[in-house]
Structure 1
Amino acid sequence: MTALPSAAPDASGPDAGGPAATDSAPPGPWLLGVRHHGPGSARAVRAALEAARPRAVLIEGPPEADGLLALAADPDMRPPVALLANVVDDPRRASFWPMAEFSPEWVALRWALDAGVEVRFIDLPAAHSLAAAEELPENEPEAEEGAPDERPALRIDPIGVLAETAGYDDPEAWWEDVVEHRDGTPGADPYGPFTVLGEAMTALREAYGDGGHARDLIREAHMRQQLRAARREFGDGVAVVCGAWHVPALAEKTTVAADRALLKGLPKVKAELTWVPWTHRRLARHSGYGAGIDSPGWYGHLFGAPDRPVERWMTKVAGLLREEDRQVSSAHVIEAVRLAGTLAAMRGRPLPGLTETTDAVRAVMCEGSDVPLALVQDRLVVGDVLGEVPDAAPAVPLQRDLTRAQRSLRLKPEALERELELDLRKETDAARSRLLHRLSLLGIGWGERSASRGSTGTFRESWRLRWEPELSVRVAEAGVWGTTVLAAATARAESEAVEATVLGEITALAERCLLAELSDALPVVMRALADRAALDTDVAHLAQALPALARTLRYGDVRGTETAALGEVATGLAERICVGLPPACTGLDADGATEMRRRIDDVHTAMALLPEAPEGPTTLRDRWASVLTRLAGRDTVAGEIRGRAVRLLLDDGRLDDTEVERHMGLALSVGTPPGEAAAWIEGFVGGASGGGMLLVHDERLLALVDTWLTGVPADAFTDVLPLLRRTFSAYEPGVRRTLGELVRRGPGTTGPAPADAGAPGFGAGLDEERAAAVEPLLRLLLGASTHGPGALPEPSGHPASDHLAGVGK
């Protein structure tokens, strides 16, 4: 056990109050060095506190949160949770202090609250730690007299160094063997682990220095100051729970003046703190949290299991695999436990660790496959546990409004991703859709739109929901826009409309406003849209903006929103596109033609959604068809665009088969360069437009393509091959196979197929010997004999006709 030298007279005494320490407890203060989120450390902390019975408990954490500590005893507080600190004027600058049920800090906090003793946080205040890192002074302590001139400035992993020293190549395995798997034998010294860790960290800091991080020195100076203050108030009956690396620094003999010098002139910001839910997944190291662990689910199991942790773990794994319809029996569990114990013995480990249990599960329950093992890793080793915070915890008004909406709509935040299907004709589902769209506009990505399953109608929406702890920060950031979700989303939309410079951005914003039903924001967005549309002369920008407007009008119909003004803007854009598109399609290179072809596809779809004006000799769709006709017949337009124009006219019934054949014949004539002809084919039958089925059902067009392709010169064939492969590789395998059969047979060149030609992919004639071999099996399947009712007819000499006749009966 590491003890501090006395810095003040002992204020404790028989009348000082508070729980009494046991007679075997060493003199305080008690420095309990831990590993963050270590269940072994948590058990050791609890045992040491029970033995020492300190009058005050000091924990590594932001002191501004002292007023929130009592909430840890609230029945509605369920870890994992985290303290969230953010800058008041800039909520994006935030920090978290996560705690799980097996975190030593959480165990110390709950013990102090249950015991009724003083509990405080003593780390550097969040007001300083949230200040910009580059503003922190690079304070380096002056070398003491007699100290070496150079101190190593190497940032190390203490656990890794100790594990390597002990002969382990895996720091996690060493920590499990030394700390996590301590059996807690009755009568064992509760201070032993902290004494050993304190001595080890002292040796490491003597060998490697302070680790080369100036902020650690500042934090430790502040913790020493807080410890001195606590000892003046409570005497030596003080326990400190902090990272093991800091123990030597807290035990170090330093002067008050030296610590004050380190803390002088620190930058400071105004910070606010609260409790927020956390997840096991965010405790995992791969999530980016610096003090994370690889296996929070496993550590939670070790902390919560009263006995036989390996057996209980294997039972959990078996239950999970059974839920996934895998055959796992009790015998599998028994064998997996035995194998894990054998592996631990062979590897010289005191108890099976996560490595041994994982190897045993893979071999016994997963039959050597890593696929079900990945499920175990995701669901159990890491886990999807989401903590809960009581309503009494401080929160920004926007968070409170969001919480009320979630409860009203029965949308509980969950760590596990889930699918949500919404029917917008139902009031509750429509309200859920509005909430998710408003949050998306605010940058709070709780839900993500996905393709709807089983329905493509506008009344259906599909969402993937998953609540991440970082979203609490996003809510705090969005709080600057308003105190309710509706008000904040409206203000954000209005601001984006004013600041948007690209027409497409405003049209997309208008669509999002309509989906979120932000009726107050729509007038501002519409004015910005009309102003930007009047000034923008780029046809590509207009073509990019129109589809969003058309979709917005459609969604307006679904939700019953007034969209007359939006329809006028959309019609105006469509008119300008019809005028400016033909010149814009002239002189484009291959990439520009491909991009413009996509724009034309989008505009064509949008035109079908726009309302028709009641007056005028021609409709908007007629004018659009006229534009496509001009593009199809203009030689200066790229082949890909001309081919697409012909295809769109054909699909709309504006061109008959003869006209299409004429256009294709001209495009694939001998005088057309092969590359230009290939581009025309790409525009006509490429992409996901059903061009393959068009060629299957119209063998005249297929014959034109086949004739052109066979006539391409050898030196030009290599140039057009990549484009053709891209075109035809997008077809379904069945379509490609049928086209191959038609080409092999010679479509359109030999007239109708002969009667004995057979279907594509089958032989031309009938194999009577193979057909006859089926007859006994067919009789057995039909349960028919050769006599009586239901009997198959007598053989007529033609096996195939006999079989078909029998099936017909």
Structure 2
Amino acid sequence: MTAPPARAPLLLGVRHHGPGSARAVRAALAAARPAAVLVEGPAEADALAGLAADPDMRPPVALLAHAADDPGRAAFWPFAAFSPEWTALRWALDVGVPVRFADLPAAHTLAADPTWGDGDEDADDAAPAPDPLAELARAAGHEDPERWWEDAVELREGGGADPLAPFEALAEAMTVLRERHGSAVRPRDLVREAHMRLRLRAARKEFGDRIVVVCGAWHVPALALRTTVAADRALLKGLPKVRTELTWVPWTHRRLARRSGYGAGITAPGWYGHLFAAPDRPVERWMTRAAGLLREADHPVSTAHVIEAVRLAEGLAALRGRPRPGLDETTDAVRAVLCGGSDVSLGLVRDRLVIGDDLGEVPAGAPAVPLQRDLTRLQKSLRLKPEADGRDLDLDLRGGTDAARSRLLHRLRLLGVDWGEPAPGRSGTGTFREGWRLSWQPELHVRVAEAGVWGTTVESAATARAAFLARTADTLREVTDLAERCLLAGLGDALPAVLGALADRAALDTDAARLADALPALARALRYGDVRGTDTAALAGVALGVAERICVGLPAACAGLAPAAAEAMRDRLDAVHTAIALLPDPKPDPGTEPDPKPGSGSDPGPGPGPGPAPDPPSEADAVPGPGLLSDRWAGTLRRLAGGERVAGVVRGRAARTLFDGGLAGTRETGRTMGLALSPAVPPAEAAAWIDGFAGGAGGGLPLVHDERLFALLDAWLGAVPDEVFPAVLPLLRRTFGGYDPGVRRALGELAARGPGAAVPAAAAPGFAAEPDAARADAVLPLLRLVLGPEVPA
């Protein structure tokens, strides 16, 4: 059987990612039976074309090109199953016809200025680039270009008697448009079209005239233009060029819905994919899929709903003069019938079906940097499949697989590959549980390529990058954060370099505020290292040194602060107090004595002034000595609480911290409060003190749950003279007005009960006057089972 005469070369102008165009291309190729096919795409991708026929290749996928020396300079050429270019590529491979990519090489595209060819914005007479789709729709009497194109192309049933006729009509229309808007054609397009003509000439010389070119419809008149080889080469002369690497990478429907690559973003990739894949009755099949999705979300949708939705969509199409129901009609029918008029339920259909979360797959044989291959191996061994749809992952760090997953995700974050984000509220300091939110996006392939300069495996690359970051860090806090991240990532080989930089910077940094900013990360790193079984002895030494320097330098750093700086210092005080509680106490040097115990009466006194003397030890206020570092920190808090030059908000927070920790008794704290809020104290300073004592982190919840604290404030407030109360009221409103409504309501209920409600917990109903030692000891066997045999008997 002889082939029919072809209109050679055959130029098939299409709209990128159009299912109607894809069906028409398939029919035209089957009718023309060309000797070779040229497809719009970077010319260097010829060697990768054969991978499109691999059984493991599943669109949506994209050609990724990046500069070999600068992987961050990259570009994508995406393809979906319903893309005309992908249809042509697969048809050629399936029937054994040679296929080539004809567009400008990526080596030139990546080397050019990103704004190259967009026109001279400074020229007053610069014509805007035309929108061919809008021009054709306007000529046909339609205001909505998308709707006109859907009616004219995407919803057409079959290609008619002559499958080539639609392409000839479209080429004729584009020729008229280019003649009318010739001055507005972008220089970038002229260069690309010159290269396509050269590739077409080379193909005709190799395969004869029976060539089919599949490209954007806008380029068809330019490819049919008769020019000389010298003229086309002149347009390409002098173009910048870089060495590039190309590969196939997975793409997503959600990413197709954005303007990416060559600007061919579409609004409904899931709907277009359905139109292309449905063998018949696309509306009925679409409604069935929508009903199934809504049923999975526990929406009451029946078969009768589906039938009525189909009838409504067809009726709307008839009323609106459309050949078949389009996306607008099916969406209106889904909203009215399947969703009961709810836009919330419709949002689920739009997100999951109209757009979709399809993630393509690429065969293992596709070119990739070594780091990408190691990452793929780890993903398979740890059973962490990349997914476009975000999902939550809860890890138990006591398990081998979950611990390895945690290390992988933390190492990738060190490399700038943010596949996973720590889930807020799922992890606690020093706990064995960790939460992540995973979402794989195509751009991460570029990040992996960029990170390939650090090593060939994820572990070696993360180690090298951590060492580099340690050398180039500008602040102590950056190094402490890096030490924590290395422990989380299990990068033991990077710790010597990081700890060395940490020790050097900690020894040279004399700013107590910067040291206070750095200590919390060190404390967390020690706790995380303990959970993961990491040796953190060296890190503990640095952390203890930083903590002791904070104890020495913090009182002076808190003197004479402006209000904003004082607020920040209060937050640092809270963070340091929490961090010190996590640090191990150092062993005292031989021949030295620890700082005097807080509350013992031998404390040298706070700050430059003597301050109020602590209460004599009593049975109610007795405090056990917690350890050397804790003693020093308690002494620092006392100096802050009584320092005359220390900002009021810091003094108030220090007094509150001493009280909460049992380091200052009720009488001592009450006396401190009375002095800080006496009539002789300026109102602004008094307001800052009460804000530091009762405001800040945690709001008023401690007042609700700590009856001693409530009683303390209640007793002070009840002792305020009537003539002074109007001056005190604004101070209280400033602090208590920031509490949540529920907290204010609970405090009001406590106050309404009267003075008897605020009593020590030991005297509250349901509590004995003294602890029951026997009942307390009964929990020790269970604690030993949970925490281990090291719990003392």
Which range, TM-score by smaller chain?
0.7 to 0.9
Distance 1:210 1:335, change over 3 A: farther
Cα distance in 2 between the residues matched to 1:209 and 1:722? 68
- Identify the residue that residue 43 of structure 1 maps to in structure 2: 23
Deviation at 1:22, TM superposition (A): 3.0
One-letter amino acid of the counterpart of residue 95, structure 1:
A
Cα distance in 1 between the residues matched to 2:530 and 2:416? 26
Cα distance in 1 between the residues matched to 2:125 and 2:655? 78
One-letter amino acid of the counterpart of residue 133, structure 2:
I
- Identify the residue that residue 605 of structure 2 maps to in structure 1: none
2:482 aligned with 1:515: no
- Identify the residue that residue 764 of structure 1 maps to in structure 2: none
- Identify the residue that residue 72 of structure 1 maps to in structure 2: 52
2:63 aligned with 1:83: yes
Q: Secondary structure at the match of 2:435?
A: strand
Among 326, 341, 344, the residue aligned to 1:353:
326
Deviation at 1:208, TM superposition (A): 1.6
- Identify the residue that residue 84 of structure 2 maps to in structure 1: 104
Q: Residues 167-206 of structure 1, C-alpha deviation per residue, up to 9 Å, x if partnerless? A: 3332221111010000116x53211221121112112111
Among 256, 260, 263, the residue aligned to 2:233:
260
Aligned counterparts, 1:307-322, within 5 A:
307-322=280-295
- Identify the residue that residue 93 of structure 2 maps to in structure 1: 113
- Identify the residue that residue 617 of structure 2 maps to in structure 1: none
Among 129, 138, 144, the residue aligned to 1:164:
138
Cα distance in 1 between the residues matched to 2:539 and 2:493? 14
Cα distance in 2 between the residues matched to 1:40 and 1:214? 30
Q: Secondary structure at the match of 1:285?
A: coil
2:7 aligned with 1:27: yes
Deviation at 1:704, TM superposition (A): 4.7
- Identify the residue that residue 636 of structure 1 maps to in structure 2: 645
2:527 aligned with 1:554: yes
One-letter amino acid of the counterpart of residue 573, structure 2:
I
**Identity, % of aligned pairs?**
67
Cα distance in 2 between the residues matched to 1:371 and 1:668? 54
One-letter amino acid of the counterpart of residue 161, structure 2:
A
Distance 1:193 1:721, change over 3 A: farther
Distance 1:746 1:287, change over 3 A: farther
Distance 1:749 1:92, change over 3 A: closer
Q: Please give the root-mean-square deviation of Cα atoms over the aligned residues, in Å.
A: 2.5
Q: Residues 504-548 of structure 1, C-alpha deviation per residue, up to 9 Å, x if partnerless? A: 000000110111111111101111111111111111110000111
Distance 1:563 1:453, change over 3 A: closer
Q: Conserved in 2, the CA contact under 8 Å of 1:706 and 1:743? A: no
Aligned counterparts, 1:679-690, within 5 A:
679-689=688-698
Q: Secondary structure at the match of 1:98?
A: strand
Cα distance in 2 between the residues matched to 1:709 and 1:446? 62
Cα distance in 2 between the residues matched to 1:528 and 1:555? 20
Aligned structure 1 segments of 4 or more residues deviating by more than 6 angstroms: 137-140, 286-289, 709-720, 748-752
Deviation at 1:652, TM superposition (A): 1.2
Among 701, 704, 709, the residue aligned to 2:712:
701
Calculate the TM-score normalised by the size of structure 1: 0.85
Q: Conserved in 2, the CA contact under 8 Å of 1:92 and 1:473? A: yes
Aligned counterparts, 1:666-745, within 5 A:
666-689=675-698, 691-694=700-703, 697-698=707-708, 699-704=710-715, 706-707=717-718, 721-726=733-738, 728-729=739-740, 733=742, 735-744=743-752
Distance 1:62 1:749, change over 3 A: closer
One-letter amino acid of the counterpart of residue 152, structure 2:
V
Q: Secondary structure at the match of 2:549?
A: helix
One-letter amino acid of the counterpart of residue 467, structure 2:
E
- Identify the residue that residue 147 of structure 1 maps to in structure 2: none
Q: Secondary structure at the match of 1:93?
A: strand
Q: Secondary structure at the match of 1:310?
A: helix
Cα distance in 1 between the residues matched to 2:296 and 2:429? 32
One-letter amino acid of the counterpart of residue 737, structure 2:
R
Q: Residues 305-326 of structure 1, C-alpha deviation per residue, up to 9 Å, x if partnerless? A: 0011111101111100100001
Q: Conserved in 2, the CA contact under 8 Å of 1:507 and 1:548? A: yes
Cα distance in 2 between the residues matched to 1:65 and 1:288? 15
Distance 1:635 1:166, change over 3 A: farther
- Identify the residue that residue 527 of structure 1 maps to in structure 2: 500
Among 117, 122, 147, the residue aligned to 1:173:
147
Cα distance in 2 between the residues matched to 1:597 and 1:20? 88
Q: Secondary structure at the match of 1:440?
A: helix
Instruction: Provide structure 1 residue ranges, at least 5 long, that are not aligned to the other structure.
Output: 1-18, 141-149, 753-809
- Identify the residue that residue 658 of structure 1 maps to in structure 2: 667
Deviation at 1:219, TM superposition (A): 0.2
One-letter amino acid of the counterpart of residue 547, structure 1:
P
Distance 1:690 1:747, change over 3 A: farther
- Identify the residue that residue 104 of structure 2 maps to in structure 1: 124
One-letter amino acid of the counterpart of residue 175, structure 2:
T
Q: Conserved in 1, the CA contact under 8 Å of 2:60 and 2:358? A: yes
Q: Residues 309-356 of structure 1, C-alpha deviation per residue, up to 9 Å, x if partnerless? A: 111101111100100001111111111111111111111111111111
Cα distance in 2 between the residues matched to 1:433 and 1:343? 53
One-letter amino acid of the counterpart of residue 740, structure 1:
G
Deviation at 1:670, TM superposition (A): 1.7
- Identify the residue that residue 133 of structure 1 maps to in structure 2: 113
- Identify the residue that residue 387 of structure 1 maps to in structure 2: 360
Deviation at 1:701, TM superposition (A): 2.6
Aligned counterparts, 1:171-570, within 5 A:
171-184=145-158, 187-209=160-182, 211-285=184-258, 290-451=263-424, 453=426, 458-570=431-543
Cα distance in 2 between the residues matched to 1:331 and 1:86? 53
Cα distance in 1 between the residues matched to 2:757 and 2:25? 89
Cα distance in 1 between the residues matched to 2:126 and 2:505? 61
One-letter amino acid of the counterpart of residue 750, structure 2:
L
Deviation at 1:288, TM superposition (A): 8.5
- Identify the residue that residue 773 of structure 1 maps to in structure 2: none
Q: Secondary structure at the match of 2:99?
A: strand
Deviation at 1:212, TM superposition (A): 3.8
One-letter amino acid of the counterpart of residue 192, structure 1:
A
Q: Conserved in 2, the CA contact under 8 Å of 1:286 and 1:294? A: no
Distance 1:644 1:316, change over 3 A: same
Q: Conserved in 1, the CA contact under 8 Å of 2:430 and 2:528? A: no
Bigger Cα displacement from structure 2, 550-559 vs 696-705? 696-705
Cα distance in 2 between the residues matched to 1:566 and 1:457? 16
Q: Secondary structure at the match of 2:246?
A: strand
Deviation at 1:51, TM superposition (A): 0.3
One-letter amino acid of the counterpart of residue 701, structure 1:
L
Bigger Cα displacement from structure 2, 697-706 vs 549-558? 697-706
Instruction: Provide structure 2 residue ranges, at least 5 long, that are not aligned to the other structure.
Output: 595-627, 761-793
Q: Residues 737-791 of structure 1, C-alpha deviation per residue, up to 9 Å, x if partnerless? A: 1212334555479999xxxxxxxxxxxxxxxxxxxxxxxxxxxxxxxxxxxxxxx
Q: Conserved in 2, the CA contact under 8 Å of 1:281 and 1:384? A: yes
- Identify the residue that residue 602 of structure 2 maps to in structure 1: none
Cα distance in 2 between the residues matched to 1:649 and 1:78? 64
Cα distance in 1 between the residues matched to 2:242 and 2:699? 61
One-letter amino acid of the counterpart of residue 562, structure 1:
D
Q: Conserved in 1, the CA contact under 8 Å of 2:390 and 2:437? A: yes
Distance 1:647 1:452, change over 3 A: same
One-letter amino acid of the counterpart of residue 315, structure 2:
T
Deviation at 1:109, TM superposition (A): 0.3
- Identify the residue that residue 612 of structure 1 maps to in structure 2: 585
Cα distance in 2 between the residues matched to 1:280 and 1:586? 58
Distance 1:218 1:685, change over 3 A: same
Q: Residues 401-433 of structure 1, C-alpha deviation per residue, up to 9 Å, x if partnerless? A: 001111111111111111111111101111111
Cα distance in 1 between the residues matched to 2:717 and 2:759? 16
Q: Conserved in 1, the CA contact under 8 Å of 2:703 and 2:747? A: no
- Identify the residue that residue 128 of structure 2 maps to in structure 1: 154
